Amino acid sequence: MDLSLLERVHSPADLKAVPLEQLPDLAAQMRHAICEQIKKTGGHFAPNLGVIELTIALHRVFDFGHDRLLFDVGHQCYPHKLITGRFSLLDKLRQRDGMAGFPDPRESDYDLFAVGHAGTAISTAVGMARGDTLRGEAVTANNPAGRHVVALVGDASIVNGVAMEGLNNAGTLDRQFLVVLNDNGMSIAHPQGAVAGYFDRLRVSDTYRSMKKAAKGALKKLPGGGVIEDFGHRMGEIAKDALLDDAWFEHFGLVTVGPIDGHDIPHLVEMLTAVKDVDRPMVLHVHTVKGKGFDFSEGDATAFHSPKPFTVRPDGVDLASGGRSFTAAFGDALCDMMAQDDAVVTCTAAMPDGTGVKKAIDRFPDRAFDSGICESHAMDMMAGMAKTGLRPFFAVYSTFLQRAFDQAFQEVALQGLPVRLCLDRAGLVGGDGAVHHGFCDVSILRALPGATLCAAIDEPSLREALNFMRTWDAGLSAVRYPRDEVSRRLRDEPCPPFAHGKARCLRPSAAPDAIVLAYGTPAIDVLAAADRLASELDVEVWDARFAKPIDRDMLRRALESGVGVLTVEDHSVVGGFGAACLEDAQVLGLDASHLHRAGLPDGWIYQGARSEQLSEAGIDTDSLITAIRAMCRTPRTDAAAVPTPAH
């Protein structure tokens, strides 16, 4: 496809110079460029295809070098990045030194926040609106050159609790404030809940099919009726037809316009121009098609929400396949448990495919739930189910667990309720980068009295951890596992059951030169490092299994061995497994001066391949070899040989 229009757009100013009638051609070129890149690297596909025309119209009407644009669910930002001078970064999408997959202020001043979590845009936009007002920089009748504020909300994140809090406060603003609701009838998967049902009914109602019902009489009933009636006069039938008489958002104090067609650029530009300077909070409800432009993505927007690289054939699409993922292993293990124990229930927060819970929803629809983008609600719902005697498993990305920490504290741990947390995407996550790394689940959950925290290293280990958690009724428990393929290294060895607070020795030694205590999948890399060091060093390797409680017998043996001890984890060194070992050593009165820690540094690691990120953190195989060698340069003491531990 000829990309001449797109290649000439280096800034929003260039976009404004494109004749209006050529903007659909620009949209087609953007759609093609995004598709061709994601075919090679993977990335967020369907969400971005759906907002191309809307993004073009927003940049056509507003000046976001001066005005404020806040994204809700930042994975709909690719068109925005192409318009704001980052086309040259597209060929390294989600790679080092390339375009981040989410808004990133390091990349451009047009990105105000690095956002990867849903529900936040309205609240941050309210904050910027109030800040600009206090600084005398807000757009007003007396300051027409002031800053406008726009929050672009998409993928059903409007149902998030923080979004509701933001709406509640936005309605109190006495100035211009625009929420653009990108309503594509989807979340990451199909949206859930009563609010989603309301939007479904609205889209198929007579109001949407023929917007002639909200005429001048209805305008007078709306908040600020005089101003809105003037607005209606200025826009004529377009505005009056789009104003809804019973819009849900008006209960929050926001005048509502729409829904309108989110792929009709001239109409979008006309409508945005009309609402741009209305001096009160408004919602522009825009209906878009997720995955717009390709039959395969429009037909299965969930599968193409964030696909791996793919190939388009005349008769279909081939998605790149790799080895078996931890997510797939979890989904199968969960279904097996639910088949064996009818007390097991599960839920996820808008991530049924991403967490593997979709398998359980399909097989056990009465015991498996998708709460929508509502992690806090999901945690409390699981607490309520635990209170009735059920055995709930909440599958959630580690990065999104943070959104439900208060509920994990108040409604779960404080009550002593056995809610089981299954933490997918724990540790470094690759292309999604800093906004999605699961780097602090151990540190935040370890603070909860009575919590039990474990980690899996492969599929048999994950199954045993889940089986342990199923009957562990003493309080909150969690298992973490990465966004990665399951290792087959230990496939020929039996995996012993998990016992509370007990580790597993993977590579015993009667007289080790070094001892490594690994938490989670880094144990596999440590085994590889030990193999390569075998001709020069005898390295004893432990799968710690638990970060709380630590296996104190393992810790005592290691620290009393007289050799260097290294802890390794795909988690922050701040408050993680290594820190827990140091704390327990102090309690036990053990000398921990020869204990070294490897883990994620106290800093941000940005997008790239997971292998690159592991290397940057110093926990890949090569880095571990270097760390073990360095640790062993300290002369070994003449400590007595310690017994070889049992498997």
Mind telling me the catalytic residues?
Answer: 290, 375, 403
Instruction: State the DSSP code for 641.
Output: P
The residue among 576, 588, 408 whose CA lies nearest residue 598 is: 576
CA angle 320, 321, 325 (to 5 degrees): 135
Q: Using H for helix, E for strand and C for coil, what is the string for 51-114? A: CHHHHHHHHHHCCCCCCEEEEECHHHCHHHHHHCCCHHHHHHCCCCCCCCCCCCCCCCCCCCCC
Residue pair 6/29 in contact by the 8 Å Cβ criterion: yes
Residue the block writes with tokens 């953007």: 30
Contact 50/75 with Cβ under 8 angstroms?
A: no
Comparing C-alpha atoms, which of 68, 94, 84, 89 is closest to residue 178?
68
- Cβ partners under 8 Å of residue 621, min gap 6: 525, 528, 529, 532
The CA dihedral of 285, 289, 291, 297, to the nearest 10 degrees, is 150
Alpha-carbon span 507 to 513, nearest angstrom:
13
Question: In the numeric block, which tokens belong to residue 34?
Answer: 């995004």
Q: Using alpha carbons, select from 173, 171, 176 the residue that is nearest to residue 139.
A: 176
How far is the C-alpha of 292 from the C-alpha of 83, rounded, in Å?
Answer: 18
Judged on CB neighbours under 10 Å (0-12, 13-18, 19+), 243 is buried
Are 383 and 411 in contact by the 8 Å Cβ rule? The answer is: yes
Residue carrying structure tokens 């290691």: 558
Contact 549, 526 (CB under 8 A): no
Token couple for 7: 């290649």
Q: How many CB atoms lie within 10 A of CB 53?
A: 27
Q: How far apart are the two ends of the chain, measured CA to CA in Å?
A: 61
Q: Report the alpha-carbon distance of residue 201 to residue 211 in Å, rounded.
A: 14
Please answer whether residues 319 and 310 qualify as being in contact, where contact means their C-beta atoms are separated by less than 8 angstroms: yes
Does residue 402 sit in helix, strand or coil?
helix
Identify the CA nearest to 114 among candidates 125, 126, 101, 127: 101
237/441 Cα distance (integer angstroms): 53
CA distance 594 to 499: 28
User: Tokens at residue 352, please?
Assistant: 């049924």
Burial 84-123 (b: 16+ CB within 10 A, else e): bbbbebbeebbbeebbbbbbbeebbebbbbbbbbbbbbbb
DSSP structure string for 422-458 = EEET-B--GGGGGGT-B-SHHHHHTTSTT-EEEE-SS
379 alpha-carbon distance from chain centroid:
17
